[in-house]
Amino acid sequence: MSRILFKCAMVMVVSVMCSLLITGAIMTANDMHDARGYMIATICPLVISPAISFIVFRQSEKLRLTLEKLHQVMQELEITNAKLFEKSSRDSMTGLLNREAFFNHIEDVRTQRASSLLIIDADHFKKINDVHGHYNGDGALMAIAQSIAGCLGKEDSIGRIGGEEFAVFLAMDDEDKVKSIAENIRAAVNRIEFRTPENERVALSVSIGGIVGLANGTIADHFQIADRRLYEAKRNGRNRVVIESNMKNAA
């Protein structure tokens, strides 16, 4: 309110000054010198300008406050939408990217940088659920997810793409390095000391299939190749890594 009153006072002062200047100019041009003219030129702006300027400035202030509130609401809405989008792209249990978000991410970046794909499946997971219960099975999955994530770099990504199946995007296409990271993941999962509430240790392991080089071809084709390598690892006894180089095939 004080801001509005200050603006009204300024308008009133300016109005009086302008009125006096105009009146003085008219009276001088017509060789008229009457104090009553200057009195009228002073009183009229004092009577008219405060009320009009108060109404105008009050409406302007209301509009300003409304726009500020609208801007704040829009910012909150943007934050809420961002949170909802983030939540919709995450697996509710592990917090990893879900299947759709993970493969959309690969599609966006695979042609812009070196890239490889790993498909990781928890070994004998049905047995873990059957023997130790789904609660412990969920705990085992989260432990595996954390272990995988701990082996990745800042530019790599991980998603949960199925019940006990994970996918990893590696920002590299060096076959030896990809195999080394896959072996690190496999060994890290082996080292997990996962225990049930009854303090019973549950041995965990994963089988990993992968493909090096994603720039050419389709994501579906790359996934099928990595998936075949995964089941090759399963057939050969599980707890192992099988990687195929798309770079060599392309050459």
Write out the catalytic residue numbers: 164
- According to DSSP, the β-strands at 157-160 and 194-195 are unpaired
d(CA 81, CA 45) in angstroms, rounded, equals: 52
d(CA 211, CA 148) in angstroms, rounded, equals: 17
d(CA 187, CA 207) in angstroms, rounded, equals: 11
Question: Which segments of the chain are extended strands (E)?
Answer: 116-122, 157-160, 165-170, 194-195, 201-202, 206-212, 241-245
d(CA 1, CA 6) in angstroms, rounded, equals: 9
CB 125, CB 183: distance < 8 Å: no
- According to DSSP, the β-strands at 241-245 and 206-212 are parallel
Burial of residue 105 (number of CB atoms within 10 Å: 0-12, 13-18, 19+): middle
Q: How far apart are the first and last CA of the chain?
A: 76
What number of residues does the chain have? 251
Number of H helices, E strands in the chain: 8, 7
For residue 34, the 8-state DSSP code is -
CB 94, CB 141: distance < 8 Å: yes
